[in-house]
Structure 1
Amino acid sequence: MLTETAYAKINLALHVRRRREDGYHELETLFAFVDDGDRLSGSLADADSLSTHGEFAAKIDDPFGNIVAKALSTLPHGKGWAVDLEKRLPVAAGLGGGSADAGAVFRMVERSAGLPGDWQTRAARLGADVPACVLSTTCIGTGTGTDLQPVESDLTGTPVLLVNPRVGVPTGPVFKAWDGVDRGEMPIGSVRRIALEGRNDLEAPAIAICPVVADMLAALRATEPFLARMSGSGATCFALYDSEAQLQAAWDKLAETQPHWWKMAGKLR
């Protein structure tokens, strides 16, 4: 039996530079990962199978067309695996939930049989965030986000709070609503500096589509983190704190004022 956590992905910064002729966007992003997420287990079986449970399992319309099943089919892994997925992260949430699940499958296969030399190309075919989610370490992504440069992080261990309104926001419409303005390159320096001086260029179009994103950012900033920002294309927002006590106080406040929002607390890996 193999077990793996599909670590929640956040974008500490996400700069959209231009629309490409192939329909994708040229990005500069700083990926970071929280030490919690979906949970997967796998065991040898006569054929591949996938079972799902957990709070957000019902949001997966077709488990056998799920990215986990696709990740299994793209990798040599023996006769078959029976995979169980506990879906704890909201879907279409800017946390790379499906990509994180696929990344966890890649790591399980790596531990069991090793990954092929072209694993990164195979991962990228599943989604732009999948290669970063396989690594699940702080890294800078360029191109469509698949060209990765791992970096040492001075934010490892930082308390982080994730908040989602339980409203899915599809990635495509948010990118389509981006105004096309290049607001400049991502800063250079430490991870903390890039996070503080960077931005998420998809916040404005996401708020136009899902106005509660602005409410979440305001609520998080009222808890006095040193950074609050939307992750990916939304709708999840995150806040970073200097201490566990600040994080706990923020959790308690939001539990009282916004009890229906999904929340997850953890630390940056």
Structure 2
Amino acid sequence: MAIEAFAPAKINLTLHVTGRRADGYHQLDSLVMLTDVGDRLTVERARETSLIVVGAMAAGVPADRSNLVIRAAELLGVSAKITLTKSLPAMAGIGGGSSDGAAAIRALCALYDLPLPDRETLSSLGADVPVCMEPELVRMRGIGEEIDRLDTPPDWSMLLVNPRVSVSTPRVFDEMGERDNPLMGCPFPNWQAFDGVIKWLADQRNDMQKAAVGLQPVIGLVLSELSQTNGCALARMSGSGATCFAIYKNASERDEALEMMRRLHPDWWCVATRRVGARFR
């Protein structure tokens, strides 16, 4: 018997860096949603755990213990033959590795009829793994372990664009100036009211964006070009970069922008997306 699981891309709609702990970890306050583009895993029972990585983005993805998929099996104390089909770019600010780990947990628990681990246990696998288990719109705080479910994510038409450069999260933190920044603004808006949410989001930040653009100036080009597309309501970098997202009020404007970006930059990774919805399982 084989079990499949979807590993959706994670978007940090906001990412406020609010402090640094004594142990060096940074405190965050972030609004997070999962999207309907992502990787896919298949797991089967086996005497020993093995990992095969295939797909358009498989190059350079490790198949050893440095991959959270392998460590997920170790965490659960099970073994499996695992096939990971990579569609998301690596080190891209959209939680690909963490989402793969979370999907492996879900698939292996289903395969072996195990209960899902609690958030503290999941955090031991990786700080972003717990939030990648949540299909709802969530507020993530602390180093990723504090998660508040807010609502069903808005069903926006969105673009994800990565100029195929990697950004080191530790380097971005090193380049940041101020690390004690304000939390997200409250009260929160009605998440299903487009204009109100966009206005609220525009007043929030990604505190890592400036440093990431300094390290990889092409990110600034991505943001500039997305902002100028017809119907773009908001463009911002996700996570520590280099993937940027753009939100549109309707799919026709989004698809027009997608066609233009692919024509101007055929070497960039450009995909249309929306909330994860029924694909999350």
Q: Same fold (TM over 0.5)?
A: yes
| Partner residue in 2 for 1:90 | 89
State the 1:258 CA deviation: 1.1
Say which of 247, 250, 253 aligns to 1:243: 250
CA deviations over 1:109-150 (Å, ceiling 9, x no partner)? 33332325x531221112211100122432101111221011
- C-alpha separation between the residues in 2 aligned to 1:99 and 1:241? 27
State the 1:226 CA deviation: 1.2
- C-alpha separation between the residues in 2 aligned to 1:32 and 1:19? 24
| Partner residue in 1 for 2:211 | 205
Say which of 264, 275, 278 aligns to 1:268: 275
- C-alpha separation between the residues in 2 aligned to 1:125 and 1:53? 27
Mapped contact 1:29–1:142 kept (Cα < 8 A): yes
With the length of structure 2 as denominator, give the TM-score of the two structures: 0.89
Letter in 1 for 2:205: R
The answer to whether residue 147 in structure 2 is matched with residue 148 in structure 1 is yes
Q: SS of the counterpart of 2:34?
A: strand
- C-alpha separation between the residues in 2 aligned to 1:134 and 1:239? 23
Q: Cα 1:24–1:64, aligned 2, differ >3 Å: closer, same or farther?
A: closer
Letter in 2 for 1:202: M
Greater Cα offset, 190-199 or 249-258: 190-199
Mapped contact 2:167–2:216 kept (Cα < 8 A): yes
- C-alpha separation between the residues in 2 aligned to 1:3 and 1:183? 40
| Partner residue in 1 for 2:185 | 187
The answer to whether residue 116 in structure 2 is matched with residue 110 in structure 1 is no
State the 1:34 CA deviation: 0.6
5+ residue gaps, structure 2, are 192-196, 277-281
State the 1:154 CA deviation: 5.4
Letter in 1 for 2:204: G
Say which of 169, 172, 175 aligns to 2:173: 175
* Runs of 4+ with >3 A deviation: 61-64
Letter in 2 for 1:86: T
Mapped contact 2:137–2:153 kept (Cα < 8 A): no
State the 1:264 CA deviation: 1.8
Structure-to-structure mapping, 1:1-269, within 5 angstroms? 1-77=2-78, 80-112=79-111, 113-116=113-116, 118-153=117-152, 155=154, 157-188=155-186, 189-190=188-189, 191=191, 192=197, 194-223=200-229, 224-269=231-276
State the 1:239 CA deviation: 0.6
- C-alpha separation between the residues in 2 aligned to 1:11 and 1:34? 11
Letter in 2 for 1:106: I
- C-alpha separation between the residues in 2 aligned to 1:159 and 1:241? 5
5+ residue gaps, structure 1, are none
RMSD (Å) for aligned C-alpha atoms: 1.6
Letter in 2 for 1:244: A
Mapped contact 2:51–2:63 kept (Cα < 8 A): no
> What is the identity percentage for the equivalent residue pairs of Structure 1 and Structure 2?
36
> For this pair of structures, how many residues does the alignment match?
265
State the 1:195 CA deviation: 2.8
Mapped contact 2:19–2:181 kept (Cα < 8 A): no
Mapped contact 2:136–2:152 kept (Cα < 8 A): no
Mapped contact 1:102–1:134 kept (Cα < 8 A): no
